[in-house]
Chain A
Amino acid sequence: MSIQEPPAPVNLIGLTRNDYKGLPSTLCKGCGHDSISARIISVAYDLSIDPRQLIKMSGIGCSSKTPAYFLNQSHGFNSLHGRMPSATTGALLANHTLKAIGVSGDGDTTSIGLGQFIHLVRRNVPMVYIVENNGVYGLTKGQFSATADEGQRLKYAGLNELPPIDVCWEALIADCGFVARSFAGDPRQVETLLKAAFSHRGTAVLDIISPCVSFNDNPDSTKSYAWGKDHEEAITDLSWIPAREEITVDYAEGESVEVEMHDGSHIRLKKLDRDYDPRDRAQAMTLLDHARANQEFITGLIYIDEERPSLPELERLPETPLAHLPERQLRPSREALAKIMDSFK
């Protein structure tokens, strides 16, 4: 006699949570990155994203290994160190109908890949770009990355005397329309930001502090679990409302900000301790500057702009992806060639 298991719950497109899983992780136990992978699986399931219509991209490093650990039914592209932006740009020009999620690290994005990162954002390539930021090189065993704090000490690397590069600030300067910071130890916020990011029109940058348990998890490090738990300060209370749901609650003027996303969903940002409008770029700059000067760990949606067109829009691409155009649309006619040849006679 066999015991019938109840069928696993399915989402709107009939897939189970299991359909969104990846291979078992090979990262260190307790790594912040694994927690983010779990959030990606959860959000993709919740949003009923078709994994076959999504590509997962990465560069090189611990973070960049993670696309193997989620969404097994999605095509993955583990590119070169710091070169995920260019490959994704090309991939999405070839097929702009697919969703894209990219996972990078602080070394991959702010050192070797800073140029490509800035140009990806500048082109507004429509993708969710996650930086799993731990301030340290893991795979090569503990060198400082460019996001490490000035004055920080590490066991092997010694003292860091250089100022950190701020991912959010770089994104903002490059005219990014979706800039957010979060903490791997705050699953609820990461999930909400991911949902909002998937609804964004162009490049959505998520700088997620993701502690490295092997090389940079001392409680005095700003990239550690303990520091994050003690210091995280959300700038607003963020919620994401799917397109199909009616907005029911009204807040008093000044209490919250409502932004309609490109796909018809909404985000709502409720005021917490401070007056903050994430549509105000100057305010976002000031916030980041202040946080950096005072080593404040502010999290949440820092800046949002749904107006800027994405690269495929600017390129005026047809509905059919370029990669799927049939030969008759790719090769001009015999007559066209004859006419051109006559012009050279």
Chain B
Amino acid sequence: MSITDVQRGSKQPPRHGAQPSPQLTDITDSPAGVNNFCITVATINGSGSQTANNCLIRALFKMGIPVSGKNIFPSNIQGLPTWFQIRVSEDGFVGRRDTAEIVVAMNKNTLAEDTKRVAPGGVLITPTEFKVAEERADITYYNLPVQQMAKDSGANAELRPYVANMVYVGALIELLGIDAGEVEAALVSHFKGKAGPINMNFGVVKAAIEYTRANIVKRDTFRVQKSNKTTGKILIGGNEAGGLGGVFGGFTVAAWYPITPSTSLVDALGDYAKELRVDKASGQKYYAIVQAEDEIAALGIVTGAGWMGARAMTSTSGPGISLMTEYIGFAYFADIPVVVWDIQRMGPSTGLPTRTSQGDVLKVYYLGHGDQKHVILLPANMEECFEAGWHAFDLAERLQTPIFVLSDLDLGMNLWMSEPFAYPEQPMDRGKVLSAEELDQLGGFARYGDEDGTGVGPRTLPGTDSPLAAYFTRGSGHNARAQYTERPEDWLANMQRLARKHEYARTLVPRPVLDETPGAEIGIIAYGSTDAPMAEARAMLASRGVKTSYLRLRALPLNEDYARFAEKYPRVYVVENNFDGQMARILMAEEPKLAAKLIPIAHSDGLPLTGRWIAQAIVEQER
């Protein structure tokens, strides 16, 4: 990453000090050591290393050590290089770390670059068969007879590449002091108790432990020790959390089209629905999930179901959002509740489907033709992914409008530690729906009326048994009674109503999370997955005497908390994982008076931001 990216999204000159400096030396990663380092495993995609890596993560987690994993993988089924980063951090930092202290190089094709990847003083582990020339004097080399041990395991030729990964698992257990029993437990859980694969894999692990003990003299300082920082916590991915949230939010219709990195959210939705929402006796399903022919149809199905009164949702990513735009405009203008998850990936265009970004914020906020602004939830962790899963439905039905949940690949597809999820305490909010009895009492209704100033009118569901229930839903001009109109005053009145609804939404969406430091001169604003490295960035800045206050946005539209925060601090940095500084632009447009204070810190290269990079970027500006 280059610090020259800092100002790229901003038309303003740097506000403080000189031009961005190319030097990266100012902020460095925290010194590695016991319970504080990063392992990078380089493998070939499709070789089954995910099992090995997840077992290591689970074992470390069970030892009470804060751990996080990031899968940096290609858009490919088999053959291209892939990297997995496992970070242990006694301090509990779970953002990506720039440096890799231990590199396991299992892919000969990337050996040269993986060797460069090792931090000075770090360790490179390679298969003996690679015959690595030990050229770097500042790192420690270990090698393991990986292919031989895979052969000795008795696995057939097809399974050998998979069990080969267990060799580095065994070596890391021995070298770092990882609890072998916990690795075995993780394998038992992964293979759902099937003795065959468990014994074969753990057999290789044991052999590798013994080999390492007998043949490798440890010459590095990295190790782990038991801690108590994960007690009571869970380890889960954001897509699974979001899907689970959808089930607890009472989704009944979901329609989708496969797209990386959102697919696993619908998978989770389906898995939990099958478990929790099927009548065991009759086999009847209290939900329907349709794999649509494209994203246009996916959102059409969701919109039709939302109109009918079902809690309906979809999950997609940037290119899918583009196709859904047409029906989003319709649902917005016809006041139909729908829930859309956007698991953001790198764009523009097809971009990098397996790399992360926060690049859809600006587009989604204003998505559609004509004037429209949407309600967006911005979960930053697993609990918020779960909460968004159910809360989005309450908001959608209360506001009768599309609700977006903007997650991303980093949140969605990586494993994160979390507190267990809280059960939704408030009953479901089904919004303003008139029954036949109510209609008879009222003697009619104005579908797009606005009696209470919220901009939300009452609706009736098709099938309501009253001659007064029917109305005509359309994306074309309509008045308060849902009649077709082209009168300018009707059109304007409807737009004004929708504007009032947007104001009402400000009062309903989750408020920002504030963490203010007395005496701080700078404010930082971030959202979503950028929250994870932010904790570390702020600690790094604090250690250099730079006090910061932090506001984490949890939704759009904004409420007064933003302006109150931005007014307070002379300089406000808006940190995000995209190229243009998209949220900064929205903030500037929403509160033009505060725009001059904002300094965009935007970066996008497909990887999650690191705490070190953020801190350095701010230091550059603060000079």
On A, residues with C-beta under 8 Å from B are: 19, 51-53, 55, 67-68, 72-80, 83, 85-95, 97-98, 115-116, 119, 123, 315-318, 321-325, 327, 329-332, 334, 336-338, 340-341, 344-345
Contact = CB atoms under 8 A, between A and B. Distances in A.
Contact of B420 (A89, A331, A341): A341
A167 to B, nearest CB: 18
Contacts of B297: 83, 85-86, 89, 115-116, 119
Given A89-B297, A322-B287, 5 more contacts: A52-B470, A78-B473, A86-B299, A93-B310, A95-B308
B520 to A, nearest CB: 36
B276 interface: yes
A103 to B, nearest CB: 13
B138 interface: no
B305 A344 contact: no
B277 interface: yes
A311 to B, nearest CB: 8
Interface in B429-485: 460-467, 469-476, 484
Given A77-B307, A87-B304, A95 B327 contact: no
**By CB atoms of chain B within 10 A, which of A85, A93, A315, A325 has the most?**
A93
Contacts of A327: 250, 427-428
Contacts of B469: 52, 73, 75
Nearest to A331: B250
A94 B253 contact: yes
A84 B467 CA distance: 25
B252 interface: yes
Interface of B: 232-236, 244, 247-250, 252-253, 255, 272, 276-277, 279, 282-288, 290, 292-294, 296-312, 326-327, 330, 390, 420-421, 423-424, 427-428, 460-467, 469-476, 484
16 contacts: A51-B470, A68-B484, A73-B469, A83-B327, A85-B300, A86-B298, A86-B304, A90-B307, A91-B307, A93-B288, A94-B309, A317-B288, A322-B305, A327-B427, A330-B286, A331-B424
A77 B428 CA distance: 26
A20 to B, nearest CB: 12
Given A78-B475, A323-B308, A334-B423, A98 B470 contact: no
Contacts of B296: 83, 86, 116
Contacts of B309: 94-95, 323-324
A94 B310 contact: yes
Contacts of A318: 279, 282, 284-286
Contacts of A52: 463-467, 469-470
Contact of A93 (B248, B290, B460): B290
A98 B470 CA distance: 14
A55 B290 CA distance: 21
Contacts of A331: 248-250, 390, 424, 428
A86 B292 contact: yes
B470 A75 contact: yes
A123 to B, nearest CB: 8
A98 B463 contact: yes
A339 B307 CA distance: 34
Contacts of A77: 304, 307, 472-474
B65 to A, nearest CB: 15
B77 to A, nearest CB: 27
A73 B427 CA distance: 32
Nearest to A319: B284
Nearest to A64: B474
Contact of B327 (A51, A80, A123): A80
A139 to B, nearest CB: 12
Contacts, number: 209
Contact of B253 (A53, A93, A123, A336): A93
B300 A79 contact: yes
Closest 4 CB pairs of A and B: A86-B300, A90-B304, A330-B250, A87-B304
B233 A115 contact: no
Given A318-B284, A332-B277, A87 B300 contact: yes
Nearest to B428: A327
Contacts of A88: 304
B163 to A, nearest CB: 26
B248 A315 contact: no
B152 to A, nearest CB: 34
B421 A323 contact: no
B473 A76 contact: yes
Contact of B300 (A74, A89, A337): A89
A74 B462 CA distance: 8
B235 A344 contact: yes
A323 B337 CA distance: 13
A78 B474 CA distance: 5
A81 B537 CA distance: 50
A72 B466 CA distance: 12
A124 to B, nearest CB: 13
**By CB atoms of chain A within 10 A, which of B284, B307, B471 has the most?**
B307
A334 B425 CA distance: 10
Contacts of A92: 304, 308
A80 B330 contact: yes
Contact of B248 (A321, A329, A332, A345): A332
A154 to B, nearest CB: 27
Nearest to A115: B293
Contacts of A74: 462, 470
A322 B286 contact: yes
Contacts of A83: 296-297, 300, 326-327
B14 to A, nearest CB: 45
Contacts of B300: 79-80, 83, 85-87, 89-90, 116
Contacts of B327: 80, 83
A53 B463 contact: yes
Nearest to A55: B462
Nearest to B294: A115
A315 B284 CA distance: 8
A94 B484 contact: no
Nearest to B279: A318
A79 B330 contact: yes
Nearest to A98: B463
Nearest to B285: A316
Given A322-B310, A323-B309, A94 B250 contact: no
Contacts of B476: 78
A76 B535 CA distance: 52
B244 A340 contact: yes
Contacts of A332: 247-248, 276-277
Contact of B467 (A73, A80, A115): A73
Contacts of B472: 67-68, 75-78
A323 B251 CA distance: 10
A94 B330 CA distance: 19
Contacts of A324: 309
**By CB atoms of chain B within 10 A, which of A83, A92, A317, A329 has the most?**
A83
Contacts of A19: 467
Given A325-B286, A337-B248, A94 B308 contact: yes
Contacts of A67: 472
A345 to B, nearest CB: 6
B421 A75 contact: no
Nearest to A120: B297
B234 to A, nearest CB: 4
B440 to A, nearest CB: 13
A94 B304 CA distance: 8
A9 to B, nearest CB: 18
